[in-house]
Amino acid sequence: MSTIQSWNRLPRVSPKAVHTLTNRQETLPDTLPTPFLAHGNGRSYGDVCLTETGSLLMTRGLDRFIDFDPVQGIVRCEPGVTLGEVLALVVPHGWFLASTPGTKFATVGGAIANDVHGKNHHDVGSFGHHVRAFELWRSDGSVIECRPDQNGDWFRATIGGLGLTGLIRWAEIQLMPVQNPWMWVQSQRFSNLDEFWVLNREAETNWPYTVAWIDCLAKGKARGRGILLSGQHAAAQTNVPAVKTSEKRVPFDPPFSLINGLSLRAFNKLYYRQPVKPQGGLTHYAPYFYPLDAIQDWNRIYGRKGFYQYQCVIPPEQAEEATAALLDTIAKHGEGSFLAVLKTFGSKPSLGMLSFPRPGTTLALDFPNRGDKTLRLLCELDVIVKEAGGALYPGKDARMSGELFQSGYPEWQTFSEYIDPNFSSRFWQRVTQ
């Protein structure tokens, strides 16, 4: 059986069978080995979308729209529709996804299952807050229509439920009105972590979208230096710039990671030195929200061994201290990350029992897979996260311990009562056994 990988290409495991869904009402063949797990476009990291013991149900063939109301901004579609396909349909009608992650190649089903978040979490919450309804198919043949106020416990279990409560057959999303496809974006440089906190606090009150990029190799006084990007959807314009799109591709697997100490240091330095626009400027939504989508198969730059993503959230009281400790540890190991992203979540409670977003600060990093050396660093980071009462993001994890998962997701046992007996993932088996 062919290997199906998640985005960071780790772990390399094969399912017992792969079944391509094309008809959302089809009955699954009896011969398919259980447990099942839905697999969308393979944009999550690690093994939340992988199984070794059962069958992957490939949902990308369920990519049909069912209804779109351009007056109310409500779209209903099958789970394999990508966020990019939703945007292509709704942006010309003056609508946008209220919450979007950093790739438009994620599917709607995956966005629900991981309760993804965007740069505007402090303003609108996460993806789950904008899900009006969905239909959940259970392996016993029953079907549950879920809304926040109808089968609400199933709704809360499935939002961020890592695909374990069954198969989402359709979902209905509330969109957000926009004037045009453009963003007004401001960028500001900050020379260390202390400056970040000040700038970020200010930006959060004035801008719906904020995110910071950090040079995680900088040490000492420059620790945590970076660039803060604040944005909002552009006002109606008489003169919008022409759209420039260029798609590039990483055409082959380099034999080793192109991300190494040398290229990292150079990249991080250059990125920090880039010209900033404190007065702001217009940017099309695609390069603003999805900069890496412009390079098809960018995950290949890490070579065949793949890479680890590490995304944690730290509660507000511990945020400043723990973030500093995380950056110190990373810099000490010299295992820098290509893109280190820092963002503060808002106070809106997530709807899902297992949702990752919660009040606090989230730091996301990726590290080329250098085996034990990388894993040792990640374990050191785990200690800081755990002591600060934080949690790691399951949708980006290939290695967290069961202990860390269970402490970060106190509702996990309640949640497990909603798991379909014939669904599981390698992730779930790993963190609960």
Distance between CA atoms of 430 and 13, rounded to whole angstroms? 13
Judged by the rule CB under 8 A, the positions of this chain that interact with another protein are: 2-3, 18-20, 22-26, 61, 64-68, 78, 89
Q: Which C-beta is closer to another protein: that of 254 or that of 316?
A: 254
Pair 126, 79: CB distance under 8 Å: no
Pair 335, 374: CB distance under 8 Å: yes
CB of 22 to another protein, least distance (A): 5
CB of 374 to another protein, least distance (A): 26
Joined together, the tokens standing for residue 278 give 């404190």
CB of 284 to another protein, least distance (A): 20
CB of 65 to another protein, least distance (A): 4
Distance between CA atoms of 420 and 167, rounded to whole angstroms? 9
Pair 362, 408: CB distance under 8 Å: no
Look at residues 158, 60, 35 and name the one whose alpha carbon lies nearest to residue 429: 35
Q: Which C-beta is closer to another protein: that of 86 or that of 286?
A: 86
CB of 267 to another protein, least distance (A): 30
Q: Which C-beta is closer to another protein: that of 19 or that of 265?
A: 19
Pairing of β 307-314 and β 360-368: antiparallel
Q: Which C-beta is closer to another protein: that of 11 or that of 61?
A: 61
Look at residues 99, 101, 154 and name the one whose alpha carbon lies nearest to residue 128: 99
Give Rg (Cα) of the chain.
Answer: 21
CB of 78 to another protein, least distance (A): 8
Q: Which C-beta is closer to another protein: that of 11 or that of 389?
A: 11
Number of H helices, E strands in the chain: 12, 21
CB of 2 to another protein, least distance (A): 4
Distance between CA atoms of 137 and 353, rounded to whole angstroms? 19
Distance between CA atoms of 61 and 240, rounded to whole angstroms? 36
The DSSP annotation for 222-236 comes to GTT-EEEEEEEEPPP
Q: Which C-beta is closer to another protein: that of 19 or that of 219?
A: 19
Q: Which C-beta is closer to another protein: that of 67 or that of 317?
A: 67
